[in-house]
Structure 1
Amino acid sequence: MRLSRPFIRLPYEFDATRLAAEVDQFSKPRWMPHPSGLPGNSAIALISSGGGDNDSFEGEKRPTPHLAHCPYMRQVMASFGEVLSRSRLMRLEPSAEVSLHVDFNYHWFSRVRIHIPIVTDPRVIFHCGPERLHMAAGECWIFDSWRRHRVVNDSAGHRVHLVIDTCGSARFWRRVQTLVEDPAAFRMTHVPFEPGRTADLKTERFSSLPVMAPGECAALIEDLIADFSANPNNDSTLVTAYAGLLRGFAQDWRELWLLHGHRREGFASYRRLIERTREKLHPDRRALTTASNGIGVNAVFAQRVLNAALAPDARMT
């Protein structure tokens, strides 16, 4: 999600010592390797698709059995009062890093990641856009994942963060906006551990439809067109051609949706439209790039729209 600045600290403090004690119960085999194979990166799922050990963005999100053994983590997650998506413990081994990247798939268009450092060191540095900082244990941060970012652990110990994904309610974003516009409004709230309390969590149950709604499809495409149209380095003829291609996809998607909606009988038609459009993309994946972060438009369009327009079972039926 795009933010107005690379990093924003939220006004919460958590008991990092208590959180670290809950982390310590997990032996090394319990940590899942990074889905992209990044060395030194591993995670434990706390809220996931179906409540299992997976990295999926799809489907209903449920607490995992791991979270049942972490009462304070559950209280921390519930303290935001938001509907939560994928959430996990993320571990970075000594001298390892999260390499430079941008989060540009469908999930990240509307979700922000809350970071709560649990085990860390001043030599663990988070880079986002032109800025860099160390997130101290027990603090609470969000960052702009649309900017290029990376994390470097230059210490001799593991770094562990609790990370919580959410779209955020209007209440959440009003508070963020207040923090940005009026730093004097920053009033720290300490969230202590409450023994014996089982906190209620709200988790995503309907993160996507079987078939993307035409209004959402058009909005995602218009946002992307505005971004690559603003890049003065892009070829103007190709900009015009791509704008027509993407808008044409949105128009044809709406026509099919009005005919079939979510009915299974229409899945093959949706798939054919997706594949026809994919074949029309320029063979140079970076023929056009976004103005905001220099990402190739082909990749963004594929991840944000083409790969997300149909649910997994609809893609295969």
Structure 2
Amino acid sequence: MKLDTEFYKLPLRLDIKRLEEEFQFSEQDWNEYPTKITGKAWIILVSVAGTLNDDFAISGAMQPTPFLERCPYLKQVMKALNAPISRSYLMRITGGTQTPAQADDNYHWFRRMAVHIPIVTNPAVQFFCNGKNVHMAAGEVWAFDNSQLHWMVNKTNQDCIHLIVETKGSSAFQSMLAQALQPYKSDGGDRQSDTIQVSDIPETVNDDGQILWEPDSFEVLTPQEIDNLTALILKDAENSSMQQSFQRLAQSMEEFRRLWKKAFSQFGHHRRGELAYQDLIARFDDDIAASGNKWQSQSVHGNNAIKVIRSMLLTSNRPLPNQSSKQLQLARKKLKAKLMVDKDFQTPEFEKPIFIISAPRAGSTLLFETLSQFPELWTIGDESHEIIEGIPELHPSAHNFSSNRLTEADALPHIRSSLRERFAKQLQDRDGRESLSLTPQERPQRVRFLEKTPKNALRIPFLKAVFPDALFIFLYREHTENISSLMEGWRSGKFPSYKPLPGWPYRQWCFLLTPGWSSLQESSLAEIAAEQWKIANTYILNDLKALPSTSWCIIRYCDLIQEPKKSINKIAQFAGVNWDEKVEQILFQSLPIARRTLSAPSRDKWRKNEREIARVLPTLEPIISVLEKANICQ
């Protein structure tokens, strides 16, 4: 948050002795800081849903973590700020460390400031902001302009520890800022020597009921804020050397302002507008932000404004798994080349192929990556979108984009033959050795094939017609966790299925295309994700019931995580495959994180979306009831 001057020493003081009494944390409680800065560690005290994460406030309501529950006096400190408490944590800077200079210039910080309260420090520790510096003594309470470049220097051989509380502020907090000591005046840069009247923060036992945790609030920039930020961008561009393209930029900016105002008038601060705002930010990226490197500005204001707008819907600073358009084009070109290989190619016999069937984001990548290490199993190394939908009759466009549903009626003889051949030309063993790299004599004549593509939740009858002896593993994940993960995937923008989708008002559709998708145009992401989860599991249940019970089995995601060896052994017996020492080593410890994971696995991380998911639960009651009767869900 932009403040009028660099530093504010608030009129509050902590009882250091009381802090030291309850400051009982072990080395195991400290975790590496998310940005992996050498010498910097943290303990999370307040976070989205009270779990161990670094999500921004747009992700959900703030709650205390178990670490804060151990510190009643720290709660009183937060209460004394008289403002909504956002993310909060203890930060430790190792002796002899200087943190990198940084400016907090994303949207989360556009609305929030950081309050620093030193707990363990010494006079040699200095805090810098905009080139000016102060020593923050133990027990003092400081705010600073975190939109400016700032850093800390600890020249001693002792660690220093700060409590950091993020907050949007309040009228009461603004009054404290007005009373604060400002070591540097905004007009001259000289130090102030005035003192202030300081109030001690007392400890009141079992009195944390009035602490205001920042609530779940979907909040975007208003049209006025968009106007102000884009004006800064235009000012920078106008003063630069890009005069020839300035007019085009100005026109793009005016159109962006117009569309933002239109969307805001329709949705305001409501999650039903999330996809519309997401599209407009993507448009801003393409039409405006992409040209930001074309001008050499003396001011950082325009670049900071770009960062604020671009990061408006980001839920964290974590890097996302990414596959560039060039990589996708290369993969498609490679696939096309393989499919053109050798007209006399002999398709091997697929013996009891194994298909992992699940809703998207149910953990199928983790299960696939684990099973793919079995010595006799062959895979294509990834999902089968291009292989299946590359056959024109199987692409949704052949069915007017009604859905991804395929049945035995779609498994015409030439399609069966073509699909088997397309799979066969992509086969690779667990070491990544491709079948096509072998001589025709070395290639296997019979293969045990493993496949997973979440869209196949709607294709079981089709797959059974193509592969009559196919086996199906139904991987089930609880609705709360699965829907939350789907929401996270939609928000990441990294899982487009159809871009664009005819009849869909937004840039892209993510994950499987469910029957009736067109009715979701004005739905929130929670409603879309819930519908995808419901439809996927409904079709899976109904289609599997039509098959012999010996051709399918059920694995719960929670069991796979908690007892991986037991779950994999169940699958091995069902599918008739054997593991070796390599698989044994994998199962000896916790399963590795799957490559499509967006955030660190946690049993309770879905709770950041708990409020949104609660609203859609009534629509899921029928399918949940069926799952419970079948002893599938817990």
Same fold (TM over 0.5): yes
Is residue 5 of structure 2 the alignment partner of residue 18 of structure 1? no
Q: What residue identity is the alignment partner of 2:3?
A: L
> Could you say if the C-alpha distance between residues 71 and 226 of structure 1 is closer, same or farther in structure 2, counting changes exceeding 3 Å?
same
What does residue 198 of structure 1 align with? Answer: 207
Q: What residue identity is the alignment partner of 1:138?
A: G
SS of the counterpart of 2:99? strand
The alpha-carbon deviation at position 112 of structure 1 amounts to 1.4
Pick the structure with more helix per residue: 2
Post-superposition CA distance 1:195-221 (Å, at most 9, x none): x33322111113424xx3xxx342333
> Could you say if the C-alpha distance between residues 273 and 224 of structure 1 is closer, same or farther in structure 2, counting changes exceeding 3 Å?
closer
- 8 Å CA contact 2:90–2:161 kept in 1: the answer is yes
What does residue 170 of structure 2 align with? Answer: 169
Give the Cα separation in 1 of the matches to 2:271 and 2:201: 47
> Could you say if the C-alpha distance between residues 42 and 63 of structure 1 is closer, same or farther in structure 2, counting changes exceeding 3 Å?
same
Give the Cα separation in 2 of the matches to 1:202 and 1:134: 29
The alpha-carbon deviation at position 272 of structure 1 amounts to 3.5
The alpha-carbon deviation at position 251 of structure 1 amounts to 1.7
Give the Cα separation in 2 of the matches to 1:271 and 1:256: 11
- 8 Å CA contact 2:2–2:146 kept in 1: the answer is yes
SS of the counterpart of 2:175? helix
Give the Cα separation in 2 of the matches to 1:225 and 1:300: 7
The alpha-carbon deviation at position 72 of structure 1 amounts to 0.7
TM-score (norm 1): 0.84
The alpha-carbon deviation at position 154 of structure 1 amounts to 1.0
The alpha-carbon deviation at position 19 of structure 1 amounts to 1.6
> Could you say if the C-alpha distance between residues 86 and 230 of structure 1 is closer, same or farther in structure 2, counting changes exceeding 3 Å?
same
The alpha-carbon deviation at position 18 of structure 1 amounts to 2.2
Greater relative contact order (Cα 8 A, min sep 6): structure 1 or 2?
1
Give the Cα separation in 2 of the matches to 1:245 and 1:22: 56
Q: What residue identity is the alignment partner of 2:208?
A: A
Give the Cα separation in 2 of the matches to 1:9 and 1:71: 24
Post-superposition CA distance 1:41-71 (Å, at most 9, x none): 1111111001011111121100111111001
Larger radius of gyration: 2
What does residue 74 of structure 2 align with? Answer: 73
What does residue 307 of structure 1 align with? Answer: 311
Is residue 224 of structure 2 the alignment partner of residue 225 of structure 1? no
CA RMSD of aligned residues (A): 3.0
Give the Cα separation in 2 of the matches to 1:109 and 1:267: 19
Give the Cα separation in 1 of the matches to 2:117 and 2:217: 24
- 8 Å CA contact 1:59–1:206 kept in 2: the answer is yes
- Aligned pair count reads 306
What does residue 29 of structure 1 align with? Answer: 28
> Could you say if the C-alpha distance between residues 227 and 279 of structure 1 is closer, same or farther in structure 2, counting changes exceeding 3 Å?
closer
> Could you say if the C-alpha distance between residues 253 and 120 of structure 1 is closer, same or farther in structure 2, counting changes exceeding 3 Å?
same
Q: What residue identity is the alignment partner of 2:90?
A: L
Give the Cα separation in 2 of the matches to 1:108 and 1:289: 25
Provide structure 1 residue ranges, at least 5 long, that are not aligned to the other structure. Answer: none
Is residue 9 of structure 2 the alignment partner of residue 9 of structure 1? yes
Give the Cα separation in 2 of the matches to 1:69 and 1:296: 44
TM-score (norm 2): 0.44
- 8 Å CA contact 1:228–1:234 kept in 2: the answer is no
- 8 Å CA contact 1:221–1:246 kept in 2: the answer is no
- The residue correspondences of 1:42-121 to structure 2 (distance < 5 A) are 42-57=41-56, 58-121=59-122
> Could you say if the C-alpha distance between residues 54 and 125 of structure 1 is closer, same or farther in structure 2, counting changes exceeding 3 Å?
same
Pick the structure with more strand per residue: 1
- 8 Å CA contact 1:86–1:164 kept in 2: the answer is yes
SS of the counterpart of 2:117? strand
What does residue 277 of structure 1 align with? Answer: 284
Between 142-151 and 278-287, the greater mean CA deviation after superposition? 278-287
SS of the counterpart of 1:87? strand
Give the Cα separation in 1 of the matches to 2:309 and 2:264: 15
Give the Cα separation in 1 of the matches to 2:165 and 2:275: 36
- 8 Å CA contact 1:129–1:147 kept in 2: the answer is yes
Give the Cα separation in 1 of the matches to 2:40 and 2:15: 24
> Could you say if the C-alpha distance between residues 8 and 284 of structure 1 is closer, same or farther in structure 2, counting changes exceeding 3 Å?
same
Q: Percent identity?
A: 32
Give the Cα separation in 1 of the matches to 2:242 and 2:133: 35
- 8 Å CA contact 2:234–2:302 kept in 1: the answer is no
- 8 Å CA contact 2:82–2:170 kept in 1: the answer is no
> Could you say if the C-alpha distance between residues 283 and 236 of structure 1 is closer, same or farther in structure 2, counting changes exceeding 3 Å?
closer
Is residue 240 of structure 2 the alignment partner of residue 234 of structure 1? yes
Give the Cα separation in 2 of the matches to 1:229 and 1:276: 17
Q: What residue identity is the alignment partner of 1:10?
A: L
- 8 Å CA contact 2:93–2:161 kept in 1: the answer is yes
- 8 Å CA contact 2:18–2:73 kept in 1: the answer is yes
The alpha-carbon deviation at position 260 of structure 1 amounts to 6.1
- 8 Å CA contact 2:96–2:154 kept in 1: the answer is yes
- 8 Å CA contact 2:232–2:305 kept in 1: the answer is no
> Could you say if the C-alpha distance between residues 185 and 100 of structure 1 is closer, same or farther in structure 2, counting changes exceeding 3 Å?
closer
Give the Cα separation in 1 of the matches to 2:194 and 2:146: 26
Post-superposition CA distance 1:148-176 (Å, at most 9, x none): 11111111111111111111112221332
Give the Cα separation in 2 of the matches to 1:148 and 1:286: 21
> Could you say if the C-alpha distance between residues 99 and 164 of structure 1 is closer, same or farther in structure 2, counting changes exceeding 3 Å?
same
The alpha-carbon deviation at position 242 of structure 1 amounts to 4.2
Give the Cα separation in 2 of the matches to 1:234 and 1:42: 41
Give the Cα separation in 2 of the matches to 1:140 and 1:240: 48
The alpha-carbon deviation at position 236 of structure 1 amounts to 6.5
Give the Cα separation in 2 of the matches to 1:230 and 1:258: 27
Give the Cα separation in 2 of the matches to 1:295 and 1:260: 28
What does residue 257 of structure 2 align with? Answer: 250
Give the Cα separation in 1 of the matches to 2:30 and 2:203: 25
- 8 Å CA contact 1:228–1:291 kept in 2: the answer is no
- The residue correspondences of 1:147-166 to structure 2 (distance < 5 A) are 147-166=148-167
- 8 Å CA contact 1:120–1:160 kept in 2: the answer is yes
